[in-house]
Chains A and B, each alone.
Chain A
Amino acid sequence: MQTQEIKKISSQVRRDILRMVHACQSGHPGGSLGCTDLLVDLYFNTMNLKTDAAGKVVFDMDGTNEDLFFLSNGHISPLIYSVLARRGYFTTSELASFRKINTRLQGHPTPHEHLEGIRIASGSLGQGLSVAIGAAQAKKLNGDKSTVYCLMGDGEQNEGQVWEAAMYAPHHKVDNVIAFIDENGQQIDGPTEKVMSNRDLQAKYEAFGWNVMRMDGNNAEDIQNTLIKAKAALGNGSPIMIIMKTEMGAGVDFMMYSHKWHGVAPNDQQLQDALAQLEETLGDY
């Protein structure tokens, strides 16, 4: 898909995120906006997804013979929900139920309510990379040549389990995994450098045996080019880690360059100001 088209979808997804968070006055808009360009590319361009004869995506839990995506930093749930709905896993009208009683769109993603497109619960940080690596090993056992993708936050790198998984995947030559770190430099209590410095993530992952790449996570062209390069590097004995620089709140000028919008909902006026910066390309839900 042309990046022109990707950008149009991303604009709509950003509108969805803001409207969902505004409607329930809770949720995490900052990281959701920052990772929008990546997830839209994965689901609309890069990933090979199972579809029916009419081309509509179909969901089954095992996900055999299709690419899988695991969201480890589950708090950016508005983003995954919008992308899944826009891709056709469920109706976009359901986005209005986000975080409301009896919803399938829980505060953090879960398969517990049988929401199509979600295969694991996340929210308690640091667990998704392990799950993704396990799913990748299942694919290898089944002779399934598909790829498993996983997104983590940079604050999430504080969790010890991430490094257990980082050690495990190269040891077992799990080379059908492409993972991402959303390096927006922010976490709840402030800049990651002040809260708990990650120091040199690239050097760390390389020392653990990963093939590390970098990209601009808010540049659709760079995302496409890097993912083409990453896919070409699969199957060479090493898992791949893409450290992507993003801006929390990307797409809305007053939400960028701060951790203030990590977990804060916009009020009515702020919503209008934000939506004015984002074209309604596919029709609001």
Chain B
Amino acid sequence: MALFTYETKKDTRSGFGAGMEYLSQHNPKVVALCADLIGSLKLEGFIKNSPERFFQTGIAEANMIGISAGLTLGGFIPYATTFANFGTGRVYDQIRQSVAYSGKNVKICCSHAGLTLGEDGATHQILEDIGLMKMLPGMVVINPCDYNQTKAATIAIADYEGPVYLRFGRPVVPVFTPEDQKFEIGKALHLVEGKDVTILATGHLVWEAIQAAEALLEKGINAEVINIHTIKPLDVQAILASVKKTGCVVTAEEHQYNGGLGDSVAQFLAMNHPTPMEFVGVNDSFGESGKPAELMEKYGLNANAIVEKAIKVMARK
């Protein structure tokens, strides 16, 4: 039985592009910067509507972060965009000092996060970015699950005052959340109600979690699926209420165990409600070249992996 259906598949980065196009027409304070990846970030619509509010930085990400911090003075809301590897790890100190510690209203918006960028391989497949960004005091970290949610998140963060890391990706994935949804930072979304096991998923793994819940249902297991689109601040009330009901939890993300969503959930539960827990993610390794689906299979980041971990964690209750 299908718990969710979809009509089309689209890439989350196109959702970002659509959100930027909307902002070009509706928020005159939003400015965009890009480090020589306009096409990959889908910024054509924004640039066409608001060329005076777009700044090409060339392949110079450190400078892009600094320029963005400066642009906030005078009331602008800079969206600094590139691939996730270059927009976080490469410029960690620039983000730390000029944005986070300085409290600047910069939105760091990055595509091609995780394994699903595929053939380019490990140099570009950052799996540590959520951890890097969430460790910075005051930084909001968002990883939406599909086109519609990415568009909504892109628009919503303009109304939030403070630094944000928005992470999205390259491949086309099912579009299953509502069009024109309202995005609320830090508010987890219950997708499937269940009583046997909680599955907390973020980004591309949310659709996989739904597929896993369908497979588990066929085995007579009622999984609860929650979309944790915001890793920081974490919706701990929603998580606590769910695990109190189910007594066990699986987290699923396209990221390292270390530093990811699972790590945040484990820290919260260890201090507040110790609960058997399993992780779906990359366990301390780099990625490699391959097709996205092949990589997700090899590294255990799909519905099958979530099903296995769900059965395993239920046995530990």
A interface residues with partner B (beta carbon < 8 Å): 61-64, 68, 110-112, 119-124, 126-139, 141-142, 144, 160-161, 164-165, 167-168, 171-172
Inter-chain contacts of A160 with B (CB < 8 A)? 62
Q: How far is the CA of A50 from the CA of B76 in the complex (A)?
A: 20
Q: How far is the CA of A141 from the CA of B52 in the complex (A)?
A: 8
Inter-chain contacts of B96 with A (CB < 8 A)? 124
Contacts between chains A and B (CB distance < 8 A), count: 116
From known contacts A121-B102, A123-B97, A124-B93, infer whether A138 and B62 are also in contact, taking CB-CB under 8 Å: no
Inter-chain contacts of A130 with B (CB < 8 A)? 62-63, 65-67, 69-70, 94, 98
Q: How far is the CA of A171 from the CA of B67 in the complex (A)?
A: 14
Let me know if A120 and B102 touch, CB within 8 A: yes
- 4 additional A-B pairs beyond A63-B74, A110-B101, A165-B66, beta carbons within 8 Å, are A121-B101, A139-B74, A161-B60, A171-B58
- B85-124 to A contact mask, C-beta < 8 Å, 1/0: 0000000011011100111100000000000000000000
Inter-chain contacts of A164 with B (CB < 8 A)? 57-58, 60, 62-63
Partner of A161, one of B62, B71, B72: B62
B22 at the A interface (CB under 8 A): no
Inter-chain contacts of A64 with B (CB < 8 A)? 74-75
A240 to chain B, nearest CB (A): 17
Q: Determine the interface band of chain B, counting residues with CB < 8 A from chain A.
A: 20 to 34
B68 at the A interface (CB under 8 A): yes
Let me know if B102 and A111 touch, CB within 8 A: yes
Let me know if B73 and A168 touch, CB within 8 A: no
List of 7 A-B pairs having minimum Cβ-Cβ separation, nearest first: A134-B70, A130-B66, A138-B74, A164-B63, A164-B60, A134-B67, A135-B70
Inter-chain contacts of B10 with A (CB < 8 A)? none
From known contacts A127-B66, A134-B68, A168-B67, infer whether A141 and B97 are also in contact, taking CB-CB under 8 Å: no
Inter-chain contacts of A131 with B (CB < 8 A)? 66-67, 69-70, 98
Partner of B58, one of A110, A133, A167: A167
Let me know if A138 and B103 touch, CB within 8 A: no
Inter-chain contacts of B62 with A (CB < 8 A)? 126-127, 130, 160-161, 164
Let me know if A138 and B93 touch, CB within 8 A: no
Inter-chain contacts of B78 with A (CB < 8 A)? 134
A-B contacts, 26 of them at CB < 8 A, read: A63-B73, A112-B103, A119-B102, A120-B98, A120-B104, A121-B98, A124-B93, A127-B94, A129-B66, A130-B65, A130-B67, A130-B94, A134-B70, A134-B71, A137-B55, A137-B67, A138-B72, A139-B74, A141-B52, A142-B74, A144-B74, A161-B62, A161-B63, A161-B66, A167-B58, A171-B58
Let me know if B58 and A122 touch, CB within 8 A: no
B31 at the A interface (CB under 8 A): yes
B291 at the A interface (CB under 8 A): no
Let me know if B70 and A112 touch, CB within 8 A: no
Q: Which residue of B lies closest to A131 (CB)?
A: B70
Q: How far is the CA of A119 from the CA of B72 in the complex (A)?
A: 10
Let me know if A137 and B97 touch, CB within 8 A: no
A130 to chain B, nearest CB (A): 2
Let me know if A127 and B73 touch, CB within 8 A: no
B166 to chain A, nearest CB (A): 20
Partner of B67, one of A61, A63, A133, A139: A133
Q: How far is the CA of A164 from the CA of B62 in the complex (A)?
A: 8
A100 to chain B, nearest CB (A): 19
Let me know if B70 and A111 touch, CB within 8 A: no
From known contacts A131-B66, A137-B55, infer whether A167 and B60 are also in contact, taking CB-CB under 8 Å: yes
Inter-chain contacts of A112 with B (CB < 8 A)? 101-103
Let me know if B55 and A172 touch, CB within 8 A: yes
Q: How far is the CA of A62 from the CA of B52 in the complex (A)?
A: 20
Q: How far is the CA of A113 from the CA of B94 in the complex (A)?
A: 19
Q: How far is the CA of A141 from the CA of B97 in the complex (A)?
A: 25
* Interfacial residues of chain B within 128-160, with CB under 8 A of chain A in the complex: none
Let me know if A141 and B31 touch, CB within 8 A: yes
Q: How far is the CA of A141 from the CA of B54 in the complex (A)?
A: 11
Let me know if B97 and A121 touch, CB within 8 A: yes
Let me know if A61 and B73 touch, CB within 8 A: yes
Q: Which residue of A lies closest to B67 (CB)?
A: A134
Inter-chain contacts of A128 with B (CB < 8 A)? 66
B53 at the A interface (CB under 8 A): yes
Partner of A124, one of B55, B73, B97: B97
Which interface residue of B58, B72, B78 has the most chain A CB atoms within 10 A?
A: B72
Q: Which residue of A lies closest to B73 (CB)?
A: A135
A66 to chain B, nearest CB (A): 11
Inter-chain contacts of B94 with A (CB < 8 A)? 127, 130, 161
B104 to chain A, nearest CB (A): 8
From known contacts A121-B97, A167-B60, infer whether A138 and B76 are also in contact, taking CB-CB under 8 Å: yes
